[in-house]
Amino acid sequence: MATLAGKGGPRRARTSDDARNQVFVRHRLGGVTRMSTQLVDRSLPADLPRGIFVGGSWREGARGVVDVENPATGEVLAQVANCDVAQGVEALDAAVDAAAAWARTSPRERGELLRRAFEAVTARADDFARLMTLEMGKPLAEARGEVAYGAEFLRWFSEEAPRVAGSYRPSPSGAMRHLVTKRPVGPCLLITPWNFPLAMATRKVAPALAAGCTVVLRPATLTPLTTLLFAKVLADCGLPAGVVNVVTSVDHDVTDALITDPRLRKLSFTGSTGVGRTLLKQAAQGVLRTSMELGGNAPFIVFEDADLDVAVEGAKAAKLRNMGEACTAANRFIVHESVADEFASRLAEAFSQLRVGDGLADGTDVGPLVSEGARAGVASLVEGAVSDGASVLTGGKQVEGAGWFYAPTVLSGVGKDAAILSEEIFGPVAPVVSFSDEAEALEIANRSEVGLAGYVFTRDMDRVLRMGDLLEVGMIGVNRGVLSDAAAPFGGVKQAGLGREGGGEGIEEYLETIYLSLNDPHAG
């Protein structure tokens, strides 16, 4: 890949290195917006691949290259291969060819490879974190957190690999014995989103490899660099050729060809509900096993007995982690009418103190949105909410200058029928709507067609248990704004998706259950 590696430099006007790497950070001090400047290093890891990874080798794309932008500057950061259908099929060929041997590899050996990968990713935490910040925008501290979180899936499933269990039991009639075993489902297509480029890859790749499956991994072309570095780390850890293949492409026909290939046996996708529906229709033609982690529109419910200090801190985490570009992000702040004004005021004050800027700069709390289109979408939702009668307590506007920044925003006086409450915002915007009693809070929260995550703030444990029964989501954070963990089953209900990732359930998504019917040894 020497040719592509030479094409990875950013396209920008000639300027000094200091000017090119100077960043601005905006923050509030004494009620006044101030700006500071810093110099940062925007260089990429020297061993970062830019090609597709097929059968253990790096290749150029048959359709040229795809630009990867730095959302903090809007400039081209690197270029990666843009593969065609034939190359996508070659990646599946490699996965199919490697499938039988990998499935026969002992669970312990598969687990040890994943453990080596965990150690290697952890050792390169700084490289992965900086790369994520450069291509996705999240503050460096958050990127480091994602490295730790993403690496944990490698460690967790390294330990799950040898724990896959079957059973041996008599039939109710006593005439037979049932020997129940598990085997890998077969070659998998894993499609990952742009917002968590390492964690979404490890959350899918780790259980697939632990189960004995081979994969074709297709990362989002907005943020492919982290995934490409991860593939290199896997190869350096001794991963056999063809077990993991990575293709990058902006063209849907590559995915179409893979999903409709009868040799593919599993599809795992994380992304929007709309795209998920389309993929499910395609997968139905081959009756593929599917895992779908789709949209979220998380309710954040604050009851009258909540500790508001805890609720505000939880709201900052649930809303602003990843700039709000997370499927688990709190989108609807449903607050009891007796504390709604105070909560909104406190949250606005907290948001107004945050530093907005390049994620590589020291002290940055909120980075840019991933693209110009993403920022325009957030701005449109806020404008619509204001037109519907909401008041802007802080933010409510784009941040001037280079990059795709949007100010952390709190909206009060939002009606429970407001359009913004029915949309997945994917930005740093917190609309606050009030409720009068528990029944109304549930009615507002359960209006969404998707039910991925929810958050409940209360001191009443009986109420917590009722929310667990009645809130139509797959995961609930209780008095905390972060709930993802490699040891927990991540997933939702309704149109939020199918299946679970992580926990003891995660590996089951990549296993088939088989049973042998045996004669009872004691039968006459």
507, 481 contact by CB (below 8 A): no
Q: What's the whole-model pTM score?
A: 0.92
Nearest to 15 by CA among 35, 47, 49, 42: 42
| Mean local confidence (pLDDT), 124-148 | 98
Three-state DSSP class for residue 137? coil
For the question of residue 304 being annotated catalytic, the response is no
* 367: its two tokens: 């980075």
Does 3 score more than 50 pLDDT?
Answer: no
Asked if domains 51-164+179-293 and 298-485 share a fold, the reply is: no
* Model confidence band, residue 231 (pLDDT cutoffs 50, 70, 90): very high
| Mean local confidence (pLDDT), 106-131 | 98
d(CA 333, CA 353): 20
Q: Kindly list the domain boundaries of the chain, sorted by start residue.
A: 51-164+179-293, 298-485
Query: How would CATH label the architecture of 298-485?
Result: 3-Layer(aba) Sandwich (3.40)
pLDDT tens for residues 277-329?
A: 999 999 999 999 999 999 999 999 999 999 999 999 999 999 999 999 999 99
Q: Which of 135, 293, 501, 509 is catalytic?
A: 293
SS (H, E, C) 419-482: HHHHCCCCCCEEEEEEECCHHHHHHHHCCCCEECEEEEECCCHHHHHHHHHHCCCCEEEECCCC
* Model confidence band, residue 15 (pLDDT cutoffs 50, 70, 90): very low
Question: 């063809």: which residue's tokens?
Answer: 242
Class of domain 51-164+179-293: alpha beta
Does 381 score more than 90 pLDDT?
Answer: yes
d(CA 501, CA 211): 13
Read off the amino acid at residue 509.
E
Residues written for the chain: 524
Three-state DSSP class for residue 157? helix
* 285: its two tokens: 């033609």
Question: Which residues is 54 bridged to in the sheet?
Answer: 57
Angle (CA) 277 282 284, round 5°: 95
Q: If you count DSSP H runs as helices and E runs as strands, how many of each does the chain have, helices first?
A: 16, 25
pLDDT tens for residues 32-55?
A: 454 556 777 889 999 999 999 999
* 501: its two tokens: 């990732």
425, 409 contact by CB (below 8 A): no
Nearest to 266 by CA among 216, 308, 335: 216
In whole angstroms, what separates CA 509 from the centre of its chain? Answer: 18
